[in-house]
Structure 1
Amino acid sequence: MRNTISLRIADFLKSYPPFHLLEQEELKSIAEEITVQYNYKGEHLFKQEDPCKPYFYLIQQGAVEIYQNENGKEITLDQCDEGDLFGLRPLFAGKHYSISAKTLEESIFYLIPIQAFKPITVNNPKVSEYLLSSLASNTHTPYYTESPSRGNLDLTSDIHELQTVHYNKKLISCSKDTTIKDLAGLMNLHSVGSVVILEDGKPTGIVTDKDIRVKVASGNWDIQMPVKEIMNSPVICYPASLTASQAHLAMMKHRISHICITEDGTPNSNALGIVAEHDLIVSQGNNPYFLMKALLRAKKTKDLKKIRRNITALLEQYIKSNIPMTHISRVMFELNDATIKKCIALSIKKMNTPPPCKFAWMSLGSQGRKEQLLLTDQDNAIVFEDQDEASYPDIHTYFMELAKNVNKRLLKIGFDYCPADMMAGNPKWCLSLSQWKEQFSDWVKSPIDDHILLCQVFFDYDISYGELNLVNALADHIFKVTSDLPIFKANLARSALLNPSPMGFFRQFLLETNGEYKDFFDLKKRALIPITDAARVLILEHQVKNINNTFERYEKLAELEPQNRELYLSASYATKVLLKFRTRQGLMHGDSGRFIDLKSLSKEEKVKLKRCFNTIGDLQDLIKLRYKLVNLI
């Protein structure tokens, strides 16, 4: 008789990595060994320093918090839900868990025995790579390298760094007695930058095009001399398992531009091929480190447009590889920010004179929150130093011309103009510091709907270029004028509740009823805006400066309001899920990812979205109570 339970398990497994890499028979054999376990909310599956269990976990239904204890404090590392793996340490001979895991709600788990799964990792390198990457992070998410601390972002951290290098197997070689002239002829004939000197198939030396330039073209060595006189020896060798990061480090350490690949990674075995620094750089065109270098070197807007295509390719690679949203948003923010900085620098260079006074370019909206992943429209503004009345017109004219130039460059790169014209090229949003303060005071003291809307846009800003003190002065002013105005905060809270729960009475998605996107789900309006607006309202109460990112705001709120810690951490996680979901949809359909055809979603995707919507409902209930808006419908 067929085991229907194991068949259902196998059917579930094939929808999630790394099981999607397995053949059907492998899935069935694993499914037959799996144990199903049910846990109540708040139960620990294992704790830090517990002995490892002989299995790891796959969540069939529910959610789990992964955390570490540091100095008596629980530091949340991640939250897992349907289809996520965790507890992988015993698979790779770990003796004790370095993390803790407890359920956030009632959950069902598949317990996958180590001994049953281990042979598959041996026979399937891709599965092994996936699990090793997960282990390296101590979480369910592959290639997860982020830390709870908010240190500087390492832009060299990338999935590509973990992959083995592609080496050139067509090795051009010669003997040590070959003349320098003949060696140069070989390099020219095969269009290569190096030749390896072999003895019985083993590398004894290497000559590069740099050696020809420095040693021969300078006249120090005669071209009829044997290459053994100018070759570099011993040869730096590595095995074929060499990774991109290892190759970079080796080249920097030894100050070389070529690495020889041999059978055992030493000069004592046969040569297999060569890795050149140029080929390594080309192969990593989407590595954020090289993208950043390219942005810094860019001379024209068309250069930035080309780089932007590679940035989008990097984003797509991150999404497909299930990189944590925290890492994605930080990397994309840095690359977007560098793009904006370069546009401003190029525009200033084009002006006849340097800026007449100190100023700051502020990015607003999603870029101001470090959440702009896809190419969306621009939202920006300029603040400049206060000026005397006589010089103000000329200075304002200068910054208006600069702003329009920058806006035009960003448009050419792919960032559309803002439909509402909330851009620095609009005279309304290119103001002196005093004018901005007066503007914010007017909005706060007269909280009509239009002013509240403007506050929602302009309260989420981040400096992209210029004088930080100007931006900090604005932040201080905003906190000052809002601190004693409970009516303004109540109106801001009321505005945050204008978009109710995304679910209808029968727990069905609320769809658009007319227009171009009739019967589509508006992810931005129904989910992202409510959760973003809620974070803005709640963090304003604590007057926290320089944290504009939505999920970071919720993480900070979890510290400031421990009584609501669980809700805020769930909101942080939900924000990441929604952002990643929108990004994935946008990349898939070549648009903003805002409107979604629900028929294209899997059951698991719908379940994950609904869990996020529950959190939004809880946040709105909290806001209603806190700001005495309980009668608001």
Structure 2
Amino acid sequence: MKNPIAERITDFIKNYHPFSELSYNQILQVANTCKVIYLDKNEILFKIHDEIHDSFYVVATGAIGLSITSDSDDVLIDKCDEGDVLGLRPFFAKDNYLMTAKAREETILYAIPIADFKPLALQTPAVLDFLLQSFASNTRNPYDKTHKGKLISENVIYDDHNNEIQYYQPISYSTDPITAAVNDIVQHVAQIMSNRRIGSIIVQENQLPIGIITDKDLRSKIATGLYPISVTLDQIMTTPVITVPENLSIAEAQMMMLKYNVGHLCVTKDGTNQSEITGVISEHDVVVSQANNPGVLLKKIKRAHNIVDLKLVRDKMTDLIQHSIDKNIPISHICSIIGELNNAITKRVIDFAIEKIGTPPPSKFVWLDLGSQGRKEQLLLTDQDSAIIFDDVATENHENTKHYFLHLAKIITKKLNKIGYEYCPADMMASNPFWCRSLSDWNSQIRKWIQNPGDKGILMTTIFFDYHCIYGDENLANALTETINNEIENNELFLAFLGIDALKNPPPLGFFRQFLVESDGEHKDTFDIKARALMPLIDAARILSLHMGINKNTNTSYRFAKLAEIEPQNALIYEACNEAFLELLKFRTEEGLRNNSNGRYLDLSNLSKLDKVKLKNDFQPISEIQEVIKNRFQLTYFT
């Protein structure tokens, strides 16, 4: 008996990969076992850490958003539309899901049982290739060149449960491969491999790959006497050679090596054996590439025995930032990764410091990072900003307790300096008695700043409001946050002072739309991107978030995203500010990497005409957000 629902499913999915590789009857066979799933908007299909399902899914109508967890916040990394495949993890892996799949609108899905589909996939190489590529690269459709979705190399997965970062980045490999012809003599090629210290040579004909000679071939075929060393390469080469496209991720390279049980891959222009050879990937390349993988770096931090080990990791982080920017990985993701690695380094340093003192802390305490690192926006090596809150103790024990934590902080800041984190020029560090206090002392100081918002009070609060707990008892920081919120609530005077401070740097363009550059001093004729462009947005996000009670996260991008969610009437302005902030941060990071500096001062002569236009466009949201602040806090007559 005919099944009209199965026929309807067949007629739909036959037009999409990988089902288009199957016959109509094969697809119909699969469709007869499918289930139709209806999801309302925002309904979850599966969540991070959920046990894997027995099916994978095809979107029939609607859209599914795929998100990861970064800094306890959901980050959308891709959207699956009509015909897209998702949920392939149980097809290849038995561990739990690493992402959340949620309907972005009313959605209909076809659930395809893996047990029924797997035999067909294994019998059809084109189907298996599609699924392998889709799973390894995390693309909804690896064959769609226009709308591939985000590669896993562009995604960050911060797994709070395992406290690990899994990050699949493009693999580095030799882009100058040694090649030989089929009639070359094995002895000659073996000598080249020995002299060049390489483990393989691609055999080519008319610049196209037709085979490969590896160390394994020499050992198994020549050293054993199976063939004399005088034979030509065509006698012992492995053919066909496995070819892959450029910009392959580490995960994809590993999957291909596992799939074909090989130790080398030939890179060609379009990934086929009918295009020019451009490189070769070895198992060694996979190992080396993983050395800069954030997950590997995180493990190295945790296993570090001394400051030298941590400095080596911090140096590699610079390479990671450069590599990520080169691959156009979103700057927000890079910030999240580097922020977690910076936090991990500080935690390890605190462990070292406590071990060095030899006695445990005399009370509960929490170490806070302030400023850019507190906001997780410190990509380049800038100065340290930190504070300690320790629990209230009996009056007679207060001085000794404070002395312990000051001593601890001095060891910590000194070790961080050796790693490469500069001392704060203004001495805003936990090693300064002013920044190392009991909870009661901090509560008292915060009240003074807020109740008497002079220039110094505003400066101190803007720094202190951007803190992040690194080590110790977060309840101490939460108690301080509660004090801040209580003091700010309905405190129009303080918010007005904070608003005026946020307006001190207007959009940095002159009357004729020329850049406002430094007029004298060491940085004459350069553009101060921090003070003139980034800080106005950072300050705006801070005051508006404080006003709206947004205190879960101090990251500027997060603040703007939450503001857009809470105030839909201003959402377009907040979203524009978010985009501008991230692009400006990227400009600063690129400048810093280029000149081994903190990137604060841009040499405009190094920017292309297009980059200058982008930079100027990023200034428009500054004007718009400052108008919001003027109106919100009635500052029109003060500015």
Report the AA paired with residue 334 of structure 1.
Answer: E
CA deviation vs aligned residue, 1:12-38 (integer Å, no higher than 9, x gap):
xxxxxxxxxxxxxxxxxxxxxxxxxxx
**Equivalent runs, 1:401-440 vs 2, <5 Å:** 401-440=407-446
1:116 — aligned with what? Answer: none
* TM-score normalised over the length of structure 1: 0.64
The corresponding residue for 1:351 is 357
SS of corresponding position for 2:468: strand
> 1:524 and 1:275, CA in 2 relative to 1: closer, same or farther beyond 3 A?
closer
Please name the residue that 1:546 is paired with: 552
The separation in 1 between residues aligned to 2:144 and 2:342, in whole angstroms, is 31
CA deviation after TM superposition for structure 1 residue 259, in Å: 5.6
- Quote the residue 1:311 is aligned against: 317
Q: Displacement, 1:260? A: 4.2
The corresponding residue for 2:461 is: 455
Pairing partner for 1:157 from 160, 164, 167 = 167
Tell me which amino acid in the other structure corresponds to 2:502: A
CA distance in 1, matches of 2:158, 2:350: 33
Give the Å deviation of 1:632.
2.9
Contact 2:407 2:431 in 1 (8 A): yes
What corresponds to 1:3 in structure 2? none
Q: Secondary structure at the match of 1:444?
A: helix
1:614 is aligned to: 620
Is the 2:379–2:589 Cα contact (8 Å) retained in structure 1? Answer: yes
Per the TM alignment, residue 89 of structure 1 is displaced from its structure 2 partner at its CA by: 11
Residues 186-335 of structure 1: pairs in structure 2 closer than 5 A:
239=242, 241=244, 244-246=250-252, 260-261=263-264, 280-335=286-341
Q: Does 1:137 align with 2:127?
A: no
CA distance in 2, matches of 1:133, 1:143: 16
Q: Distance in 1 between matches of 2:390 and 2:157?
A: 36
Q: Structure 1 residues 418, 238: CA separation in 2 closer, same or farther (over 3 Å shift)?
A: farther
Question: Is the 8 Å Cα contact of residues 153 and 249 (structure 2) preserved in structure 1?
Answer: no
**Which AA in structure 1 matches 2:167?**
S
Counterpart-to-counterpart distance in 1, 2:575 and 2:549: 19
Aligned-pair CA distance for 1:620: 0.5
Please name the residue that 2:3 is paired with.
none
Deviation at 1:247, TM superposition (A): 6.0
Which of 532, 535, 549 is the matching residue for 1:529?
535
Superposition deviation, residue 284 in structure 1: 2.5
Contact 2:153–2:167 (CA<8 Å) still a contact in 1?
A: no
> For each residue in 1:321-357, what CA deviation from the matched residue of structure 2 results, as whole angstroms up to 9, or x when unmatched?
2110111110110111111111111111111201111
Counterpart of 2:507 in structure 1 is: 501
1:352-398 Cα shifts (integer Å, max 9, x gaps)? 20111111110000000010000000000101111001111111111
Contact in 2 for aligned 1:296/1:338 (Cα 8 Å): yes
Q: 1:555 to 1:468 in 2, by over 3 A?
A: same
* Contact persistence 2:157–2:167 (CA under 8 A): no
User: Cα 1:133–1:380, aligned 2, differ >3 Å: closer, same or farther?
Assistant: farther
Which amino acid letter does the alignment assign opposite residue 612 of structure 1? D
Secondary structure of the corresponding residue to residue 319 of structure 1: helix
Given that residues 365 and 390 in structure 2 are in contact (C-alpha distance below 8 angstroms), is that contact kept between their aligned partners in structure 1? yes
Going from structure 1 to structure 2, the CA distance change for 1:553 and 1:451 (only over 3 Å counts) comes to same
Conserved in 1, the CA contact under 8 Å of 2:169 and 2:249? Answer: no
* Deviation readout 1:385-420 (Å, 9 max, x if unpaired): 110011111111111111000100111111110010
Change (3 A) 1:615 1:275: closer
In structure 1, the residue matched to 2:399 is 393
Q: Cα RMSD between the aligned structures?
A: 4.6
Structure 2 CA distance for partners of 1:332 and 1:608, relative to 1, 3 Å:
same
The 3 A distance-change label for structure 1 pair 386 and 280 is same
State the TM-score, normalized to the length of structure 2.
Answer: 0.63
Structure 1 stretches of 5 or more lacking a match? 1-50, 53-68, 78-86, 101-128, 171-190, 194-200, 209-236, 264-273
Q: In the aligned structure 2, how far is the partner of 1:383 from the partner of 1:275? A: 51
Tell me the distance in 1 between the aligned counterparts of 2:476 and 2:632.
33
Is 1:482 aligned with 2:494?
Answer: no
**Secondary structure, aligned partner of 2:389:** strand
1:250 Cα deviation after fit: 9.1
In 1, Cα distance between equivalents of 2:579 and 2:552: 20
Distance 1:540 1:262, change over 3 A: closer
Other-structure match for 1:559: 565
How far the C-alpha of 1:136 sits from its partner, in A, is: 3.6
- Shift in Å at residue 631 of structure 1? 2.0
Change over 3 Å in CA distance of 1:396–1:576 after alignment to 2: same
Pair 373,280 (structure 1): closer, same or farther in 2 beyond 3 Å:
same
For 1:184-203, what per-residue CA distance to the aligned partner results, in whole angstroms no more than 9, with x for missing partners? xxxxxxx999xxxxxxx999
Equivalent position of 1:109 in the other structure? none
Secondary structure (helix, strand or coil) at the match of 2:548 reads coil
Deviations 1:403-451 (A, max 9, x none): 0001001111111100100000000001111111111011000100100
Note closer, same or farther for the CA distance 1:75–1:545 as it changes in structure 2 (3 Å cut).
farther
Q: Where does residue 7 of structure 1 map in the other structure?
A: none
2:475 to 463, 469, 474: 469
Deviation of residue 593 (structure 1)?
Answer: 0.9
1:368 aligns with 2:368: no
Paired residues of 2:264 and 2:282 also in contact (CA < 8 A) = no
SS state of the match for residue 430, structure 2? coil
**Partner Cα distance (2:368, 2:159) in 1:** 26
Shift of 1:131: 9.9
- Give SS of 2:166's match: coil
Q: Deviations over 1:429-484 (max 9, x none)?
A: 01111111111011000100100000000000001111111111111111011113
Q: Which runs of 5+ in 2 are unaligned?
A: 1-14, 17-40, 44-61, 68-77, 86-102, 106-140, 180-196, 200-211, 220-239, 267-279
Q: 1:517 aligns with which of 503, 507, 523?
A: 523
